Each structure stands twice: as structure tokens, then as C-alpha cells.
């Protein structure tokens, strides 16, 4: 009975460890895909955790991974300062002069009800007359 009980516990520990291993690999794969577009770096990080086990691989990954998430979206204010517009539909960056998104064709501008000025979709007020009358 004594040996049976011990091997049962070992089995549970092994299963738990394998579970942790798989979860770590999935988490690292997700995390690294948000941090770099470099496929080689992504594969290296996933292999690191897969081959060295999470116990050794995870701490190494945490030290080596890029510190920041890459940004697909630029905050609205920054984008406007760069004379770019974020498409509200697909988040593609477009030139401020564009009336329609170059990726999905959605309109980027709204017409002011008062002065018919074309305003960026993200504006709360017309930049010509200050009117808040937009059909969002
Ligand atoms: Zn778009
Ligand atoms: Zn206006």
C-alpha cells in the first residue's frame, strides 16, 4: 500500500508538470507573438521553454524577451500629430487626407451637419465650426 500511494502521488505530480509544461508553451507562444513580429525569435523562445522545460526555460524567457509589446495601434493623439488616421473599422493607419480607408474602404471622415466640413471620424467636434452634431 505504501509504495502504491507514493507512485500515485508521483503520477499526479508528473501529470501536473506536463500540464504546466503545455500551458507554459501556449502562454509563451501567445506572449512572444505580441512582443515581436520576428518569426525566428518567436520559434527560439517557444523551443527554449519546450526543450528546457518551464522550470529552466521560463525564467530564461522572462529575462530575454522583448520588454514591450509591439504596437499595432498608435494612440489617437499620436496618430493625429503624425497626420495619420486610425481606421475605426480595421485600425489601419491612413493619411489624414484620405477620405476612405486604404485597407477596408470604410469612410474615415464624417460631414459636419452645420458647415458640411469633412471631419475625422474620431473628432467629437467639428474642427471648422465647433459644432458637436455628428452622426456617429
Ligand atoms: Zn479600414
Ligand atoms: Zn462644422
- Cα-Cα-Cα-Cα torsion 109, 96, 101, 113, nearest 10 degrees, comes to 0
Cα(125) to centroid(ligand 1), Å = 22
> 132 and 125 in contact (C-beta within 8 Å)?
yes
CA 34/CA 92 separation, integer angstroms: 17
Ligand 2 center to 92 CA (angstroms):
26
Contacts of 129 (CB under 8 A, 6+ apart): 112, 114, 115, 117
Query: Using CB atoms within 10 A of its CB, is residue 88 exposed (0-12), middle (13-18) or buried (19+)?
Result: middle
Domain borders along the chain are 2-64, 71-136
Q: Which listed ligand is nearest to 105 at the C-alpha?
A: 1
Residue 32, number of CB atoms within 10 A of its CB: 21
| Per-residue model confidence as pLDDT tens for the chain (136 residues) | 555 678 889 999 999 989 989 998 998 888 888 888 888 888 888 888 888 888 888 888 888 787 776 655 667 777 777 788 888 888 888 888 889 999 999 988 888 888 888 888 777 888 889 888 666 5
CA of 98 to the centre of ligand 2 (A): 18
Amino acid at each position: 500500500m505504501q509504495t502504491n500511494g507514493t507512485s500515485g502521488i508521483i503520477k499526479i505530480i508528473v501529470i501536473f508538470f506536463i500540464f504546466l509544461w503545455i500551458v507554459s508553451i501556449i502562454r509563451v507562444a501567445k506572449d512572444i507573438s505580441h512582443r515581436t513580429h520576428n518569426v525566428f525569435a518567436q520559434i527560439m523562445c517557444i523551443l527554449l521553454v519546450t526543450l528546457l522545460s518551464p522550470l529552466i526555460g521560463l525564467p530564461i524567457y522572462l529575462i530575454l524577451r522583448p520588454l514591450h509589446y509591439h504596437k499595432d495601434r498608435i494612440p489617437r493623439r499620436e496618430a493625429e500629430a503624425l497626420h495619420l488616421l486610425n481606421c475605426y473599422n480595421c485600425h489601419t493607419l491612413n493619411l489624414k487626407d484620405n477620405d476612405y480607408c486604404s485597407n477596408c474602404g470604410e469612410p474615415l471622415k464624417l460631414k459636419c451637419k452645420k458647415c458640411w466640413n469633412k471631419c475625422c471620424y474620431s473628432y467629437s467636434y467639428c474642427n471648422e465650426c465647433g459644432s458637436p452634431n455628428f452622426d456617429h
